[in-house]
Amino acid sequence: MVLKKALRGVGVVLPGLRVDGALVDLGSCNARVAERLASALRGEWPVVGGYVVDERDDRLGEVMGHVGRSVQVRPLGGGREWDCPPEVLRPARREEVLRAQVRLVNRVSRWSGG
């Protein structure tokens, strides 16, 4: 399906997406997915909710929003956001995001004694 592929290309996955003749049912999606879709439709890059790497210092983070010419990025797991010009950002590779998520889970497990 062309729409599903196009949405996936900008980082938006709608599992309930269905096409019935001329009607498109986007299915139930949470507010986070809806914001990603709106960001993609506004032509923002990177898309809100996507993962990026700030090439100035190799920090990986999640895109939280756009303010003027700046992109607001937050570290995985929370923390203080930082502003970046979009030209210093690149999309994070899946393995980079997965590695960061595993580190976060391991760190939380050590803190909780698990």
Question: Tell me: the pLDDT tens digits for 52-90?
Answer: 999 999 999 999 999 999 999 999 989 999 999 999 999
Contact 61, 74 (CB under 8 A): yes
Cβ burial of 5 (10 Å; 0-12, 13-18, 19+) is exposed
Torsion of CA 4, 34, 79, 67, to 10 degrees: 100
Instruction: Give me the pLDDT at residue 19, please.
Output: 76
Cα 64 to chain centroid distance, Å, stands at 8
Contact 42, 34 (CB under 8 A): no
pLDDT at 114 over 70: no
Q: What pLDDT, in 10s, does the model give residues 5-50? A: 777 777 777 778 777 777 777 777 777 777 888 888 888 889 999 9
Instruction: Give me the pLDDT at residue 113, please.
Output: 65
Instruction: Give me the pLDDT at residue 74, please.
Output: 97
Instruction: Give me the pLDDT at residue 20, please.
Output: 78
